[in-house]
């Protein structure tokens, strides 16, 4: 037992040192040579990182306060940048998607800023900007993708499991006490009735309609052109450019130059990352991951509570 404690303590210390080193050496703002970093109130371009699964998780919901691409955190960063008087928001998206409502929240916030007319909104896509990631990107004045970016995946999915036969096999019985016939509509312990499937299909279809309407409004693309592309398929950046889902190809530095051009910024623009991690924010998620593996916990357990998603 004493040896285990020593090993655990050694791992924790090593994780702290590694995380602190990465934070101190600039891991917070990787890929920034095309611009001058600025202090609050001096930035011309606000960079907003949308990394990982998008959800409505609030800061502090995880064990050590990491929130990833939490809608609340992103909206807070957007409003802070707006208050500082920036000329543009550069959304740096590397996300496979997320929940429908959280993606919609961020999209609506960006559309509000865009419609006000004082701030340009530009997206630069990384490895992936799919489903909910594309939902957010659709609110941009201009989208830049790498040729090999994975994007698209426009659609909504609802996963359900039925473990009734498994429970019968191992001798587990379940009892449900409910206030109404639809209260356990997502139950994995019984077959789904045809009328329940119809209700859930209507839920998915309505969310999908909202997704399409958001893209039509943001991209100014006729729904007749969009619908054949919105069957859940994914595209490379090059393919997305050909069908009108993105506007140009390039990397992060190209996106900065495009943003500067759209806003009339001369010379090297001043950029501030409004989602840059503090030492503790950068440190604790890494420590949480290590501790979870030690304790045998599932790092993604909370995600299973969110059945209706744009993520697949």
Q: Which residues are catalytic?
A: 131, 183
In which residue are the tokens 């309505």 written? 206
Q: Report how far residue 70's alpha carbon sits from residue 57's, in angstroms, rounded to the nearest whole number.
A: 5
Classify residue 144 by burial, with Cβ atoms within 10 Å: 0-12, 13-18, 19+.
Answer: buried
Coil/strand/helix, residue 95: strand
Sequential DSSP letters for 229-290 = G-SS-EEEHHHHHHHTS-SEE--HHHHHHHHHHHHT--SSPEEEETTPPPHHHHHHHHHHHH
CB 153 within 8 A of CB 119: no
Triad 118, 122, 127: Cα angle to 5°:
160
- Measured between alpha carbons, how far is 195 from 37 in angstroms, rounded to an integer? 57
Who's near 83: CB < 8 A, 6+ residues apart?
A: none
Using CA atoms, how far apart are residues 269 and 257, in angstroms rounded to an integer? 8
């Amino acid at each position: 037992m004493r040896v285990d404690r020593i090993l655990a303590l050694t791992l924790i210390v090593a994780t702290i040192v590694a995380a602190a080193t990465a934070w101190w050496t600039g891991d917070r703002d990787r890929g920034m040579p095309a611009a001058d970093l600025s202090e609050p109130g001096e930035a011309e371009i606000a960079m907003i990182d949308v990394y990982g699964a998008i959800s409505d998780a609030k800061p502090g919901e995880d064990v050590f306060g990491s929130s990833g691409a939490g809608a609340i955190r992103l909206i807070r960063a957007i409003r802070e940048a707006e208050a500082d008087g920036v000329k543009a928001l550069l959304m740096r998206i590397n996300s496979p998607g997320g929940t429908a409502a959280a993606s919609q929240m961020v999209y609506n916030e960006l559309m509000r800023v865009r419609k006000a007319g004082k701030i340009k909104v530009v997206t630069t896509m990384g490895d992936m900007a799919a489903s909910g990631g594309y939902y957010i990107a659709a609110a941009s004045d201009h989208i830049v993708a790498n040729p090999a970016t994975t994007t698209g995946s426009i659609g909504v999915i609802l996963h359900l499991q039925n473990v009734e036969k498994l429970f019968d096999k191992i001798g587990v019985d379940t009892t449900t006490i409910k206030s109404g016939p639809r209260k356990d509509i997502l139950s994995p312990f019984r077959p789904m009735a045809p009328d329940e499937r119809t209700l859930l299909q209507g839920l998915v279809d309505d969310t999908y309609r909202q997704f399409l309407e958001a893209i039509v409004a943001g991209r100014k693309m006729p729904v007749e052109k969009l619908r054949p592309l919105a069957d859940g398929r994914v595209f490379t950046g090059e393919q997305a450019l050909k069908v009108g889902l993105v506007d140009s190809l390039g990397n992060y530095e190209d996106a900065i130059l495009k943003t500067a051009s759209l806003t009339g910024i001369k010379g090297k623009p001043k950029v501030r990352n409004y989602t840059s991690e503090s030492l503790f924010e950068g440190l604790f998620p890494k420590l949480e991951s290590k501790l979870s593996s030690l304790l045998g916990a599932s790092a993604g357990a909370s995600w299973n509570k969110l059945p209706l998603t744009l993520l697949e």
